[in-house]
Structure 1
Amino acid sequence: MNFARNALLALLAGFISITAQAQNSAETQQHIQRVTSGLIGGIVLKGHESETRTLADRMKELNVPGVSIAVIHNGKIEWARGFGTRDGSGTPVDAQTMFQAGSISKPLAAMAALHLVQTGKLTLDADINTYLTSWKFPSDPIAAGKPVTLRELLTHTAGTTVHGFPGYASKDPVPTLIQVLNGEKPANTPAIRTEQPPMKEWKYSGGGYTIMQQAVIDVTHEPFPKLLHDTVLAPIGMTRSTYEQPLPESLRANAATPFRGDGKPVEGGAHTYPEMAAAGLWTTPTDLAKYAIEVELSLEGKANHVLNPDMTRQMVTPGMGHWGLGLEIGGADADPYFSHGGANEGFRNIFAAYEKNGEGAFVMTNGDNGGQLGDEVMHAIAAEYHWPDWHPTVRTAIQVDPKILATYVGTYALFPNFDLVVTVENGQLITQATGQPSFKMYAETETKFFPLVFPAELEFVKDDKGAVNAVILHQGGHDMKAPKK
């Protein structure tokens, strides 16, 4: 990269930063105040006003020590702020504090792969084994003779295994990427293989992105962090971002420490993720905002620091499962947004940005309960900036006879040493899981109940004699039955 290009990138990063500072006006301060005092749960009751909470209260209740937020408005970063603490010493989070991005690593890694497509080093629809030299994806009768392609890997339609990766604690040995691909010790996940034919259905696979990571390493002969720095991070001006795993010592001075849902720090600190394309990015909401602005400007033909407009359009075109090439696509056809979430050990993050109107928000947290908090922050931002999407779901609740509610009271065994306790207080059903806060539950039917703060349902089950003997937790596409103790 020559001096002139470095100077241009520095100017670009500086322009974005100066623009954010210039808009730090009284109006912006009012936006921040209303967002941080107006958190909204994922569900509201029909006929009732949304109950709002403060960010500080919800951070305390959910045991999330630190949060960092950036908002883009009219195509520019309007504000970026840190809240709470980044570690056990009480050091505050600021806009420059780095967090593990989790699966938000994927869309930026996909952008790098598409850059290689654009420059002719990869193609989207060839057998991925064409580009793999240090390892080959094994053929499997399940694939019905269909080769796996880069397009399918990026869109989660390749039929590959391994949803996600837990990473490696500081005391544990870290496998090579090929050991991860083969499921060989010390890897802690199974081999990445075929579980259904390509393009049969959409199924999220971090394993697919790990295959992609090996492919781009093989065609470029460069370490993955360097490739991502040179092709994506530096050109966009993402100066507080890296795919280095573990995080280099020189960057740890302002990096967040991960925390569990009970408020205790993750033992040994941040996990290491050799699966860098799937989960290896360290970044900030401000840098993610720069990425989103680059995508928006490229779609308008006003920027091509990484991809040309045609390739960017392919990236955000929804296919099976409403996914583009590395991004989930939502909203109305006339006003779509692109988004992604991320979850590593002790980190939870989310972002969404609109393709056309220059609006977006980016939330990063250093707590396992930060996913719920991030959703509530996104709802508050959507309300404040009048987004057409990201609003709570409206549901109708009915009254249930107190005598029926009384039959549900008890303790239900979800997992070993993890119970769900059901009580009734003043005619209101209350649930509390081991080590978790309690939640009010509202009746959809006499046997089905839902909370307001996250998408889930409880369904009480009776035996042949009509006695309640179990509850089924419906959440995240899973149904978990818990017998009554």
Structure 2
Amino acid sequence: MLLLTSTSKSTQKILSLSFVFTLALQSVPASAQVDVKTMISTIESPLKNGESELDKLSLEQLMEKLRVPGMSIAVIKDFKLHWAKTYGVIDAQSGKALNLQTRFQAASISKPITAMAAMRMVQDGRLNLDTDVNTYFKSLRIPANPAFPNQAITPRSLFSHTSGAADGFGFPGYEPDATLPTTEEILEGKLPSNVGKILFTEAPFQVSKYSGGGVMFMQLAMRDISGRPFADLMRTSVLQPLAMHDSSFVQAKNLEGNPNAALAHDEAGQRFAAPWHVYPELATSGLWTTPSDLAKVIIAMQNALLGKDENLLTQQSAREMITPVSVGRFGIGWSISQRNNGWYFSHSGANWGYRAWAIGHIRKGYGLVVMTNSDSGMSLINQVVDRVESAYNWDSRPTASSR
């Protein structure tokens, strides 16, 4: 198996995968377990009718070729978690196997989770998506741009990446022992921040430019509105209500007390010197979680969109989140796309040493979350997405009429 050469380690890993698979099946009725096993076997096998070199490899072979030490998957079907399984190791040096509770950095998938918390503030009347965001700040203001002095920068524009912010961030994170900047220092580009000041160079809603910096203004606004630390706000407004017990926005600085966290690896599948980077940019990059927990987010969105469960988000709030602002592909936090005959909401994640992907169908109750602990993880994720779409016959697959 990948990165394990001794017989004892290989045996340990195989037994671990078997145990994880057993856990995944515990909540599945006996009549459906054969279907789950068939689906997993199909996805782990080479892609049927695949044409590329990667298509012709099994998942195990793909992980070895692409140098991804560990991967965790959760598949959603009929508005429920269908199965979850882990592959590979937490740490290429120790060979310790992953399990379903192993946390990964979700990276930019933090953004739509933050947006869900913001929508709860909207529901409570504490936040308006179309009000000048400056009205919520206690410590700074975004200066008016003389080129468009009467056009306010709003939460809707910040979450949809249409605010005119010029940063294009991406945050590199910090070494675990580094002095971390405050939210205000990040926004102002002041030391010890390792990024520049976030500037707005275009009028709102004129262009679409991905901006982690823009979403950081929402971290400040939500903190100032609530009067609470951002990680605590996220815990009580989203993580606890969805029973995301293996998730947190708290930034761990070392391995002590965090034995079940996947460690960061480079493109060659080698461990970095630090176990991971830490991200004070919590709203954009700070979530630690598992695919099974993120699957709860996808399912909550899907149920709210159909009005089946409005405990977290009302149907109106969920629809706001998947409504593009007519510039670019983003609604409130989520990227919205038509994939052949289906419409989906999704988001990718890329932190130092981690890659992740989460996607859900807007109406049909299926979706997927994949998380890896390697800078080369996205190529593997793309393969998993293709295989899940094919095995479950998603409407994102090309049809005869669409070819």
The alignment's TM-score, normalised by the length of structure 2, stands at: 0.87
- Please name the residue that 2:44 is paired with: 36
Q: Measured at CA, do residues 155 and 20 of structure 1 come closer, stay the same or move farther in structure 2, by a change above 3 Å? A: farther
- Please name the residue that 1:62 is paired with: 66
- Please name the residue that 2:338 is paired with: 331
- 1:156 correspondence with 2:161: yes
- 1:204 correspondence with 2:214: no
State which of 226, 234, 237 in structure 2 corresponds to 1:228. Answer: 234
Larger radius of gyration: 1
- Listed as ranges, the gaps of 5+ residues in structure 1 are 1-15, 397-485
- Please name the residue that 1:115 is paired with: 120
- What's the CA shift for 1:383? 0.4
The code of the aligned residue for 2:266 comes to R
Where 2:345 maps in the other structure, the secondary structure is strand
1:291-370 to structure 2, matched below 5 A, reads: 291-319=297-325, 320-331=327-338, 335-370=342-377
Where 2:240 maps in the other structure, the secondary structure is helix
Q: Measured at CA, do residues 222 and 390 of structure 1 come closer, stay the same or move farther in structure 2, by a change above 3 Å? A: farther
CA deviation string 1:319-355 (max 9, x = no partner): 3212111001112697411100000000000111112
1:140-219 to structure 2, matched below 5 A, reads: 140-162=145-167, 163-219=169-225
The alignment's TM-score, normalised by the length of structure 1, stands at: 0.73
State which of 377, 387, 393 in structure 2 corresponds to 1:380. Answer: 387
- Please name the residue that 1:82 is paired with: 86
Q: Measured at CA, do residues 238 and 124 of structure 1 come closer, stay the same or move farther in structure 2, by a change above 3 Å? A: same
Larger mean Cα displacement after TM superposition, 239-248 or 56-65: 239-248
- What's the CA shift for 1:305? 2.5
- For 1:367 and 1:335, the matched residues in 2 are separated by 30
The code of the aligned residue for 2:88 comes to G
Confirm or deny: 8 A CA contact 2:341 2:395 kept in the other structure.
no
Q: Measured at CA, do residues 146 and 125 of structure 1 come closer, stay the same or move farther in structure 2, by a change above 3 Å? A: same
State which of 111, 129, 135 in structure 2 corresponds to 1:124. Answer: 129
CA deviation string 1:189-247 (max 9, x = no partner): 10111121111111100001100000000010011111111111111111111111136
- Listed as ranges, the gaps of 5+ residues in structure 2 are 1-23
- Please name the residue that 2:294 is paired with: 288
Let me know the Cα RMSD of the aligned residues.
2.5
- What's the CA shift for 1:156? 0.4
Percent of aligned pairs with the same amino acid: 38
- For 1:120 and 1:18, the matched residues in 2 are separated by 41
- What's the CA shift for 1:76? 1.1
State which of 238, 241, 252 in structure 2 corresponds to 1:246. Answer: 252
- What's the CA shift for 1:151? 0.4
Q: Measured at CA, do residues 142 and 188 of structure 1 come closer, stay the same or move farther in structure 2, by a change above 3 Å? A: farther
The code of the aligned residue for 2:291 comes to P
Confirm or deny: 8 A CA contact 1:330 1:337 kept in the other structure.
yes
Task: Name the one with the larger strand percent.
Answer: 1
- For 2:31 and 2:83, the matched residues in 1 are separated by 8
- What's the CA shift for 1:132? 0.8
- For 1:26 and 1:364, the matched residues in 2 are separated by 25
- What's the CA shift for 1:266? 2.0
- Please name the residue that 2:106 is paired with: 101
Q: Measured at CA, do residues 252 and 273 of structure 1 come closer, stay the same or move farther in structure 2, by a change above 3 Å? A: same
- For 1:18 and 1:138, the matched residues in 2 are separated by 55
- For 1:192 and 1:17, the matched residues in 2 are separated by 47
Confirm or deny: 8 A CA contact 2:77 2:365 kept in the other structure.
yes
- Please name the residue that 1:410 is paired with: none
Q: Measured at CA, do residues 308 and 218 of structure 1 come closer, stay the same or move farther in structure 2, by a change above 3 Å? A: same
- For 1:189 and 1:56, the matched residues in 2 are separated by 38
Q: Measured at CA, do residues 300 and 40 of structure 1 come closer, stay the same or move farther in structure 2, by a change above 3 Å? A: same
- 1:72 correspondence with 2:79: no
The code of the aligned residue for 2:271 comes to P
- What's the CA shift for 1:174? 1.3
- For 2:34 and 2:258, the matched residues in 1 are separated by 34
Where 1:199 maps in the other structure, the secondary structure is coil
Where 2:360 maps in the other structure, the secondary structure is strand
Confirm or deny: 8 A CA contact 2:148 2:203 kept in the other structure.
yes
- For 2:44 and 2:322, the matched residues in 1 are separated by 30
The alignment covers a number of residue pairs equal to: 374
- For 1:58 and 1:292, the matched residues in 2 are separated by 26
Confirm or deny: 8 A CA contact 2:254 2:275 kept in the other structure.
no
Larger mean Cα displacement after TM superposition, 261-270 or 287-296: 261-270
CA deviation string 1:422-472 (max 9, x = no partner): xxxxxxxxxxxxxxxxxxxxxxxxxxxxxxxxxxxxxxxxxxxxxxxxxxx
CA deviation string 1:115-144 (max 9, x = no partner): 111111110111100001122222223545
- Please name the residue that 1:9 is paired with: none
Larger mean Cα displacement after TM superposition, 50-59 or 177-186: 50-59
- For 1:226 and 1:248, the matched residues in 2 are separated by 20
Where 1:212 maps in the other structure, the secondary structure is helix
- What's the CA shift for 1:172? 2.5
- 1:136 correspondence with 2:144: no
- For 2:388 and 2:292, the matched residues in 1 are separated by 16
Q: Measured at CA, do residues 180 and 24 of structure 1 come closer, stay the same or move farther in structure 2, by a change above 3 Å? A: farther
- What's the CA shift for 1:24? 6.7
